[in-house]
């Protein structure tokens, strides 16, 4: 794995002179180049937990970096995973659907790329990272991806899906889940209908997953954390629900990312 040494300062200075840093990171999977991005507050020098973040179907973008900054705050180091490859950067929904569909249609490939990004994060991240405390979050397509990361059996401090699809072609793999799971779902999401939610709940029960939660936000649809989403009744930002969801994420990780714990022990 190779780290790109270019640094890009991306945000503003606060009263505490805190600056959010965004740092591109090049890495390789099977000889192919991928480029993720570290996002963290460099005013905090103490080691802190890390969150692997899989963005929505647009991939590694400025919008994804802004969402990573919101998730990171001063509490976490965030690494945005690249699931497409460095030279695949969708410019519209049609290109995003093609890129995401290729990965979503091959869950073994999805798991491989998410796990590879996690290893890059674990071994090549900022010195502020406490690599013994890692979780994962994902948005839309990324939510699906982090659930597949959990189903792959990777030990973590927890995974959080924000308005992600919950279906999987191999629900029996949930028996391998070795991490707490939190799903944050829009109750009126047309892309994740009640039948899919019910199937996910049955999947968790049938696999006897030790620690899982599903929170359904009334009136919310797809992409409720994305300020750029503006398709009423389909995919639309909801500031109140977004605030609640990010707060719930923090409560979850405050509990699960205990010092030195990478996995959930029943």
pLDDT digits (tens, 9 = 90+) for 25-61: 999 999 999 999 999 998 988 999 999 999 999 999 9
Q: Is the residue at 263 inside a domain?
A: no
- CA-CA distance, 130 to 237, in Å (whole number)? 32
Q: Is the residue at 264 inside a domain?
A: no
Q: How many domains does the chain have?
A: 1
Domain that holds residue 234: 8-255
pTM of the complete model beyond 0.95: no
Element (H, E) at 66: helix 62-72
Average pLDDT taken over every residue of the chain: 91
pLDDT per position as a tens digit, 148-198: 999 999 999 999 999 999 999 999 999 999 999 999 999 999 999 999 999
Query: Based on the number of CB atoms within 10 Å of its own CB, is 3 exposed (0-12), middle (13-18) or buried (19 or more)?
Result: middle
Answer whether residue 17 shows pLDDT above 70. Answer: no
Identify which of 56, 35, 49 has the alpha carbon closest to the alpha carbon of residue 78. 49
State the pLDDT at residue 262: 59
Q: Is the residue at 120 inside a domain?
A: yes
Whether 226 contacts 238, CB under 8 Å: no
- CA-CA distance, 208 to 85, in Å (whole number)? 35
Q: Is the residue at 29 inside a domain?
A: yes
Q: Is the residue at 78 inside a domain?
A: yes
Q: Is the residue at 62 inside a domain?
A: yes
Whether 159 contacts 146, CB under 8 Å: yes
What's 167's domain CATH number? 3.40.50.1820
């Amino acid at each position: 794995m190779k780290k790109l040494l270019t640094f890009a300062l991306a945000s503003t200075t606060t009263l505490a002179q805190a600056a959010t840093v965004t740092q591109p990171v090049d890495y390789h999977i099977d000889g192919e180049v991928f480029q993720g991005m570290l996002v963290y507050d460099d005013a905090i020098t103490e080691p802190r937990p890390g969150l692997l973040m899989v963005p929505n179907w647009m991939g590694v973008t400025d919008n994804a970096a802004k969402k990573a900054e919101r998730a990171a705050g001063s509490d976490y180091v965030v690494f945005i995973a690249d699931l497409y490859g460095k030279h695949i950067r969708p410019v519209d929904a049609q290109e995003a659907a093609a890129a995401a569909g290729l990965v979503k249609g091959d869950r073994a490939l999805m798991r491989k790329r998410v796990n590879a990004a996690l290893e890059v994060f674990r071994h090549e991240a900022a010195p502020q990272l406490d690599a013994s405390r890692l979780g994962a979050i994902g948005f839309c397509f990324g939510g699906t991806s982090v659930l597949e990361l959990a189903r792959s059996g990777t030990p973590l401090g927890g995974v959080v899906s924000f308005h992600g699809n919950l279906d999987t072609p191999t629900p029996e793999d949930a028996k391998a889940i070795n991490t707490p799971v939190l799903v944050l779902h829009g109750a009126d999401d047309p892309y994740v209908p009640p039948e899919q939610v019910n199937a996910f709940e049955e999947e968790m029960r049938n696999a006897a997953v030790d620690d899982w939660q599903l929170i359904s936000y009334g009136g919310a649809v797809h992409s409720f954390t994305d300020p750029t989403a503006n398709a009423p009744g389909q995919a639309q930002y909801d500031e109140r629900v977004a605030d609640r969801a990010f707060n719930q994420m923090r409560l979850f990780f405050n509990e699960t990312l205990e010092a030195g714990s990478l996995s959930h022990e029943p």
